[in-house]
Amino acid sequence: MIEWIIPEELAGSRLDAALAQHLRQTSRSKLQTWIKAGRVLLDGTAERASTLVAPGQRVTIDPPEAPAPRLEALDIPLSVVYEDDDLLVIDKPAGLQVHPGAGEPRPTLAHALVARYPNWAAPGSPERPGLVHRLDRDTSGLMVIARREPAFQDLVRQIQRRETTRRYVALAWGTIREPSGSIDAPIARDPGNRRKMTVSEKGRPAQSDYRVLHRFDWLTLIEVSLRTGRTHQIRVHLAHLGHPLFGDPTYGRARVWLDRIPPARRAVLTDRLRRLNRQALHAYHLACRHPSGGGNLRFESPVPADLDQLLLQLRIEESSG
């Protein structure tokens, strides 16, 4: 049984939409099925999915018994930063997908978690055990994973209430002139390509803050802080700003940028793109409140070798003039 109080920020939302915000690991269609089956009560009464909710209303959810995990346990090495009975913090390498997806049969972090905890009654959905947030496959860095249901619900609430801190280091195309700024642009699924996201007035609210760390020739190193956590948020927001991520195969517009650059520098940056072979994005800082009242947790991850080598080469080229 799950109980939840509707917060102020979801006032006027449909019941199914509010639930989707709270139970992010459960699809909206599944939530609608639960509502129709009477497994969701609003102030003790079964309502329709379209019912509009108000702050302070109590939602009681009686989900059906979870099926046994279907994922195969795969012994994939994990870089564990912290672990206790409630949660696990890992430093995910670039190239490791977080959970299975359509057309992606490769081993994932979720498979590794099932192997690490063979008798685990994992919170969340069987395909996304314990995952309260995610990183794109080719983004490296820190992730927190819940090991128990109460911790899962608490960490999800912290993210929804913007009580967690997630900071990234990113290398973007072009020269970002302002020393810092905010990008407030809603994000939705791209109607022309379901694998992509796009800025759209019909999208969900999305906010990112950035500050410039260093300006290279044709590139800018920045820190990005998330105030929301939409799919591909940093990648979409930086592309919307006109400074997409260096190495991003989906939103990076590398050819457009390379065509602007003098031939000698173009050849160098083309080689740098080839050697990096992924988007230049690393989740280096993660802070949250321990779900069992153990105080505040704060973790930092050094820039991984591939990105560190790229930045070193850029600094050497800069100093040599």
154 is catalytic: no
Which secondary structure element, helix H or strand E, spans residue 36, and what is its range?
Answer: helix 28-36
Rounded Cα–Cα distance for residues 287 and 293 (Å)? 14
The set of residues, in sequence order, having a beta carbon less than 8 Å from that of 8 and lying 6+ positions away, is: 55
Nearest to 87 by CA among 159, 155, 136, 134: 155
Instruction: Region of 141 please: left (phi>0), alpha (psi -120 to 50) or beta.
Output: left
List, in sequence order, the alpha helices (H) in 52-108: none
User: H or E stretch including 113?
Assistant: helix 109-116
Token pair of 203 as six digits: 């999208």
Using N-to-C axis directions, what is the helix angle for 28-36 and 15-22, rounded to 10°? 130
Q: Active-site residue among 16, 91, 136, 138?
A: 136
Q: Which residues are the active-site residues?
A: 136
